[in-house]
Amino acid sequence: MSETTKKIETTVLHAGHRADPTTGSVAVPIHQTTSFQFRDAEHAANLFALSELGNIYTRIMNPTCDVLEQRVTAMEGGAAGLALGSGQAASAFCIQNIAKAGDNFVASTDLYGGTWNLFANTMKDMGIECRFVDPSDPENFRRAVDDKTRAFYAETLPNPKLNVFPISEVAAIGRELGIPLIMDNTAASGICRPLEHGAAIVMYSTTKYIGGHGTSIGGLVVDGGNFDWEAHAERQPYLNQPDPSYHGAVWTQAVKGIGPVAYIIKMRTTLLRDLGSAMSPFNAFMFLQGLETLPLRMERHCSNTVAVAEWLAKHPAVETVIHPSQQTGELKARADKYLNGQYGGLCGMVLKGGKDAGAKFIDSLKMFYHVANIGDARSLAIHPATTTHSQLSAEEQEATGVSAGYVRLSIGIEHIDDIISDLDQALAQV
């Protein structure tokens, strides 16, 4: 059975490492080294020329990071992965790998606030235009395309709206036009496999559910190996034309003997080499610890969150509950299609008392942590309008679904009775 045909509960424990060949260590060793000894001059030259694959320097590759890359790639059913220093680095690299100044890409409006800022401002400063479109009509992506459009970008389960993205619909439009769909699957880690629905690239903030322990910041990009970059050579010039930054390599040709990994090899050998957003081996080890229990934790995150959403929906202080299990019609059908019977661990609510009630509620929580994070094993809460989304204008906040009274909950894996009890006492204060 290949790594990619095994079930994810198995691949997260076994893919990419059996036992250390030198020591027999079953746990993946932390290769806390900057560099790797070359066998001889020819070996060194071959590694640099990419005619042989192997370790050179930890900014570009590391055996501990490699196991994490292989495990997440196997979980996604992809071709190869790249671990990075943060989810932000992963989002930036996903675009910069195939777009340069003068190019554009189309992104869903339903994005994490940090990604929004990166795309609307920092990318703009780099000369790369992000065209934001409402994902409720997949055709909006087609309408925004011109001959300089290089990518589509979206989140599977975007908070705060939690409207599941129409992956296969937008991926199909992209494939017609030679445009890969890049999916941020962070909030649906382990419950959705976007590549199966036609996405070309999957990226993660491993900081969230993949870690689960809340100890480490990291990101990861998986190349699906399922996108024909050569068939759209004009649309994707940077994978099909000589790259002056790697002595004229044409990436689609350079990987011919390795596999359908042009996108991720280019990212590793140029962007990671030059911008240096590497994941530390220690953090890779931490993410491997988290990944081992991801499927189990997600089951609990998801079942707890359904129970919380049901309970909140009946609470007199709550105006609206935002969770896929509470949706109806097309949105619910989409959630059912993509989330494999689970609806994620995030839940939003709008309190009848608005912003003041939101603040009072947050300050009254005793067990929930008040932090700017999601996907921790512990339950977390935040008021996005004054924190994660505060650098956005009022119109931008509205477009991303953040109203003044919106409270975001990231439901943990504690006993459901204790979660409800904390929510109950805090809501009694508003």
Interface with ligand PLP (CB under 6 A): 86-88, 91, 112, 114-115, 155, 184, 186-187, 205, 207, 217, 219, 374
Q: Is residue 184 a contact partner of residue 332, using CB atoms and an 8 Å limit?
A: no
The stretches of 165-324 forming alpha helices (DSSP H) are 167-177, 237-240, 251-254, 262-266, 273-275, 281-292, 294-313
- Position 34: which residue type? T
Name every residue whose Cβ is closer than 8 Å to that of residue 356 and which is 6 or more positions away in sequence: none
Q: Which is nearer to ligand PLP, 186 or 305 (CB)?
A: 186
Q: Which is nearer to ligand PLP, 82 or 217 (CB)?
A: 217
Block residue for tokens 């707890």: 304
Q: How far is the CB of 245 from ligand PLP (least distance, A)?
A: 25
Q: How far is the CB of 375 from ligand PLP (least distance, A)?
A: 8
Q: How far is the CB of 364 from ligand PLP (least distance, A)?
A: 24
**Spatial separation of the C-alpha atoms in residues 84 and 212, rounded to whole Å:** 17
Residue whose C-alpha is closest to residue 409's, from 423, 425, 389: 423
Structure tokens at 116: 């929004």
Q: How far is the CB of 203 from ligand PLP (least distance, A)?
A: 8
Q: How far is the CB of 91 from ligand PLP (least distance, A)?
A: 6
Q: Which is nearer to ligand PLP, 118 or 173 (CB)?
A: 118
Q: How far is the CB of 114 from ligand PLP (least distance, A)?
A: 5
Q: What is the DSSP letter of 194?
A: G
**Spatial separation of the C-alpha atoms in residues 34 and 59, rounded to whole Å:** 8
Residue least distant from ligand PLP (Cβ): 87
Structure tokens at 228: 């024909």
**Spatial separation of the C-alpha atoms in residues 54 and 429, rounded to whole Å:** 59
Q: Which is nearer to ligand PLP, 103 or 376 (CB)?
A: 376
Q: Which is nearer to ligand PLP, 219 or 405 (CB)?
A: 219
Q: Which is nearer to ligand PLP, 374 or 427 (CB)?
A: 374
Q: Which is nearer to ligand PLP, 204 or 229 (CB)?
A: 204
Q: How far is the CB of 286 from ligand PLP (least distance, A)?
A: 13
Sort 244 into a burial class: Cβ within 10 Å, 0-12 / 13-18 / 19+. Answer: exposed
Residue whose C-alpha is closest to residue 305's, from 336, 349, 338: 349
